[in-house]
């Protein structure tokens, strides 16, 4: 259902205006100012029963009470109405400094007040201490607002109270509350992954029947996993999520298959950029991977790690500090991937490169081998039919028999032939074009082609 964005925005401003009234009353009561007799709990909470905004729909779906809504409004204020929190800049006249109990921090990139967990605690408990239980509930990692990373309480150093961490609303969810649509996650240091898509469908792919059978298990999990875990009660017996390993020579369709699994089941597929993840500095790789898993934890995405050996390779004997660090990194990744509730697909050229501790935990291990003659013939036909006129001298079946090539190489040859044809202003692919394209692919693999005319 499409919702007018103005309804979303109006609803959010009403929540923040209610927050302003609550803040004003809490401070009056706490400091015994004029009007302190009134309770902030008597201030009407905005009615959402018939509200059609996406925010209202989520509040009802999640079953949030007024205290959780107050937390959301507190974190929305810096985005939409930062002056609503300026009252927290007031000075304690006794000590000539800000009120410690208000919490909050200032930042060079934001001139307003940024709330912390302490700010939320002050609003709920300064007048009504028993509401501290509500603070604990809101910040409970198992509860929806924290579990789905809607709200974030920044980590603090061990010697700093945890409530002193900045309390913020995810930009991802704020965008959704405003527009009704989730933004695309763009590749960046904070999320080193890129969404991958394809215009192809399953009928465009040539896979061995055994591969297809194994892929059907993954598709079934993607479509019915929630039923098995929740309705059938398997959550009590098996780990969440699904882990698969695709291995085999380059160009055999591992990435395309992962993309099609997402496309056919309505899931976004994000390919992890390992160049932005792996770091020579101790602890940085784990930190980068942690960002990915934290961001994706409840997004219903498929995470795809290509050339996964770089991260999930075999552990070595701990003969040096570097070896020990590498093994600690592998152990960390093992724990994160095992606890991840979503779907993870790792791709590698060789199964033997992978650490056995990972492979034991995969639900599917699928070998993408080089296509046989019949499969290669289908790949050649799929690539060239309906696009070009083939020279009558070209026998695609003979080409498939004679040259062992993967699908990725055949597509590269298609590109080469297309460039040659368009340069001649002709749509006919010559035998020489085709053989030269094959020669180029063989050269990449240091193979020799002896039949070039």
pLDDT digits (tens, 9 = 90+) for 49-77: 999 999 999 999 999 999 999 999 999 99
Instruction: State residue 172's pLDDT score.
Output: 87
**In this structure, are residues 40 and 26 in contact, taking their beta carbons and an 8 Å threshold?**
yes
Q: Give yes or no for residue 453 having a pLDDT over 50.
A: no
Give the model's confidence band at 452: pLDDT under 50 very low, under 70 low, under 90 confident, else very high: very low
Q: Using pLDDT thresholds of 50, 70 and 90, give the confidence band for residue 279.
A: confident
At 46, is the pLDDT very low, low, confident or very high (cuts 50, 70, 90)?
Answer: very high
Best-predicted range by mean pLDDT (158-167, 221-230, 379-388, 423-432) = 158-167
More reliable by pLDDT, 186 or 150: 150
pLDDT band at 29 (very low <50, low <70, confident <90, very high): very high
Q: What's the predicted TM-score (pTM) here?
A: 0.70
Q: Is the pLDDT of residue 149 over 90?
A: no
Q: What are the C-alpha distances in Å from 125 to residues 21, 78, 144, 309, 372?
A: 16, 22, 22, 51, 70
More confident site: 133 or 390? 133
Separation CA 434–CA 343 (nearest Å):
40
- Highest mean pLDDT of the ranges 140-144, 306-310, 314-318: 140-144
pLDDT of residue 325: 60
Distances (CA, A) of 50 to 8, 10, 357: 13, 14, 52
Does 438 have pLDDT greater than 50? yes
Place of tokens 């809504």: 69
Q: Chain-wide mean pLDDT for the chain?
A: 88
Residue 150 or residue 191, greater confidence: 150
**Banded model confidence at residue 447, pLDDT cuts 50, 70, 90:** confident
Q: How far apart are CA 357 and CA 198, in angstroms?
A: 32
Distance between CA atoms of residues 301 and 87, nearest Å: 41
Beta-carbon contacts of 212 under 8 Å, excluding residues fewer than 6 positions away, are none
Give the pLDDT of residue 61: 93
Residue 327 pLDDT > 80? no
């Amino acid at each position: 259902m499409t919702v007018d964005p103005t309804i979303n925005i109006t609803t959010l401003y009403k929540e923040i205006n209610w927050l302003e009234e609550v803040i004003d009353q809490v401070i009056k009561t706490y400091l015994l100012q004029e009007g302190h007799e009134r309770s902030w709990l008597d201030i009407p909470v905005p009615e959402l029963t018939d509200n059609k905004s996406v925010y209202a729909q989520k509040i009802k779906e999640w079953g949030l009470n007024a205290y959780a809504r107050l937390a959301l409004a507190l974190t929305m204020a810096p985005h939409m109405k930062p002056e609503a929190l300026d009252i927290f800049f007031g000075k304690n006249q006794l000590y000539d400094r800000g009120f410690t109990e208000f919490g909050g921090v200032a930042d060079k990139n934001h001139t307003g007040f940024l709330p912390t967990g302490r700010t939320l605690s002050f609003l709920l408990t300064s007048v009504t201490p028993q509401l501290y239980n509500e603070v604990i509930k809101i910040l409970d990692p198992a509860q929806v607002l924290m579990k789905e990373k809607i709200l974030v309480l920044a980590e603090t150093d061990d010697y700093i109270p945890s409530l002193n961490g900045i309390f913020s609303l995810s930009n991802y969810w704020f965008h959704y509350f405003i527009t009704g649509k989730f933004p695309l996650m763009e590749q960046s240091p904070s999320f080193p992954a890129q969404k991958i898509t394809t215009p192809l469908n399953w009928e465009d792919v040539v896979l061995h029947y055994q591969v297809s059978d194994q892929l059907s298990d993954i598709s079934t999990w993607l479509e019915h996993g929630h039923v098995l875990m929740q309705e059938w009660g398997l959550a009590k017996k098996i780990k969440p999520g699904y882990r698969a390993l695709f291995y085999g020579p380059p160009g055999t369709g591992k990435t395309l298959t992962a993309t099609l699994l997402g496309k056919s089941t309505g899931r976004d597929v994000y390919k992890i950029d390992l160049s932005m993840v792996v770091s020579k500095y101790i602890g940085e790789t784990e930190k980068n991977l942690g960002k990915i898993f934290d961001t994706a934890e409840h997004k219903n995405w498929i995470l795809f790690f290509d050339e996964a050996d770089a991260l999930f390779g075999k552990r070595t004997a701990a003969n040096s500090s570097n070896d020990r660090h590498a093994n600690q990194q592998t152990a960390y990744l093992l724990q994160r991937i095992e606890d991840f509730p979503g779907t993870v697909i790792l791709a590698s050229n060789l199964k033997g490169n992978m650490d056995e501790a990972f492979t034991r935990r995969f639900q599917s291990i699928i070998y993408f081998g080089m296509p046989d003659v019949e499969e290669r013939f289908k790949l050649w036909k799929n690539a060239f039919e309906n696009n070009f006129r083939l020279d009558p001298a070209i026998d695609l079946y003979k080409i498939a028999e004679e040259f062992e090539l993967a699908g990725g190489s055949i597509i590269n040859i298609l590109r080469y032939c297309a460039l040659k044809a368009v340069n001649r202003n002709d749509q006919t692919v010559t035998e020489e074009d085709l053989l030269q394209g094959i020669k180029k692919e063989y050269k990449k693999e240091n193979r020799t082609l002896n039949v070039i005319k």
